[in-house]
A = this chain, B = another copy of it.
Amino acid sequence: MKDKCGVVGVRFDVEKNRDAAALYIYYALQALQHRGQESSGISVTNGCCVLSDKGMGLVTDYFNRERLQKLAGYAGIGHVRYSTTGGSKLENSQPFTVSYKNGTIAIAHNGNLVNYKELKHELESHGRVFTSDSDTEVIAQMLAMELIKNDIVEAVRETMKRLVGSYSLVILIDDKVIGVRDPLGFKPLCIGHVDCGYILASESVAIDTLNGELVRDVAPGEMVILGEKIESYKLVKCKNHAHCMFEYVYFARPDSIIDGKLVYKVRHNIGEILAAECPTDADIVSPVPDSGITSAIGYSNGSGIHYAEALIKNRYVNRTFIMPAQELRETAVRLKLNTVKSNIDGKRVILIDDSIVRGTTSRRIIDLIWRGGAKEIHARIGSPPIISPCYLGIDMASRDELIAAHKTVKGVEFLIGANSLYYISLEGLVKAIGIDKDDLCTGCLTGVYPIEIPGEKCEDKQMKLNQFAPE
């Protein structure tokens, strides 16, 4: 399960810091590297022209002193990307930069447009062409069209009227850095204050890394413009929001604060609630590292059962290739995870994981623990069963692949080979997050989505009250 992207924007007071925007973006992108490892890019302006550089790989693999020194400017944006289907190509990497009548626009996008194809077809029917297959190019073209007719605020407002889906955007127009969040607030975006300037970032850890201070989240439907000063425009009002609950469960770093909630605290709550919802007698509670760690600690604190590491993760294995030799069939798992036998042997183990998607990884991990000599294995999952795909930016799996779309909890329990399996209840998860259920997107857990998606059910609470607000 992979998220799509991380975005950053930085705007300095040109009198105080004329050159360092790219350097700040470089550090901020490193703090967001967990949101995408495929490609990274930076675009900055020095007031005269836009300088861009992007390439495949981690931020620190691609960018070096020489590349950064060529990117002197006082305002800019950055992006790290994990590719969904559509392919791992340099053409799809971001920021996406286009020239138009009045200059250059650079856009960095986290999210997924549900009506991407319709918008693209509409533009194509007017003879427009596309050089990539990303939805970001659609946004860029629509925005450019509006910008030759309107000022920035109206242009963004008009563009937002057409976009359906999730989008947290950071845009460089002239020397302004603009942040936009979709009306339902699927993906996070926050504002921070640093020496001599302001920053926009997908997660607050990027602000921490720059020794800055988190000011607040960008509100759903809001546009902020970082220029000489910060301007804010509430462009679209919705009665409810639809924050992605998987940011708390899995994607975000535990040290991030998203929509006012510290992720660490949410995950700790999940563990405590799991312990309370389904009390289980055991010798140890252990996480599947890394995403299960905090919940396992919470479970231990809630239940009084000893926290112990049954599994150790190899920190250096990102990409390896596996030969299909029979005798090495387990090595793929063993390269990433190994067991600590003394914590397992003869023990009743509660294993905490964030979610189950296809079930294959869970089965392999549980098999490893059985081989370590466990007496019992009880799987406890930090999210309810995933029964429906995500259309809003998570490259999860198709419905066919989602095990919980086809099997009961008992069926999954049998398949993964655990003595017992328990998923946190939806109510429990909502309580752990601390945000009203009506303000969360739970499409993948309920099959009911906050926006209309062809072939899926739509929860009308959120969308029907949408309205484009006068400024």
Contacts and interface: CB of A to CB of B under 8 A. Distances in A.
Interface stretch (A139-147, A351-359, A390-398, A422-430): A139-147
B254 A309 contact: yes
- Chain A interface size band reads 35 or more
A65 to B, nearest CB: 6
A125 B294 CA distance: 54
Interface of A: 20, 23-24, 27, 30-31, 33-34, 37, 58-60, 64-65, 90, 97-101, 105, 121, 124-125, 127-133, 140-141, 144-146, 148-149, 194-196, 205, 208-211, 253-255, 262, 264-265, 290, 293-294, 297, 300-301, 306-309, 312, 314-321, 323, 325, 327-328, 330-331, 334-335, 338-343
19 contacts: A23-B328, A27-B335, A30-B314, A30-B335, A60-B316, A60-B319, A98-B130, A98-B131, A101-B125, A105-B129, A128-B128, A205-B338, A210-B328, A210-B331, A253-B338, A254-B312, A255-B338, A264-B312, A293-B309
Given A327-B211, A340-B262, A144 B127 contact: yes
B98 A124 contact: no
A6 to B, nearest CB: 11
Contacts of A309: 254, 264, 293-294, 297
B255 A339 contact: yes
A312 B318 CA distance: 20
B316 A58 contact: yes
Q: Which one of A98, A121, A129, A340 has the greatest number of beta carbons of chain B within 10 Å?
A: A129
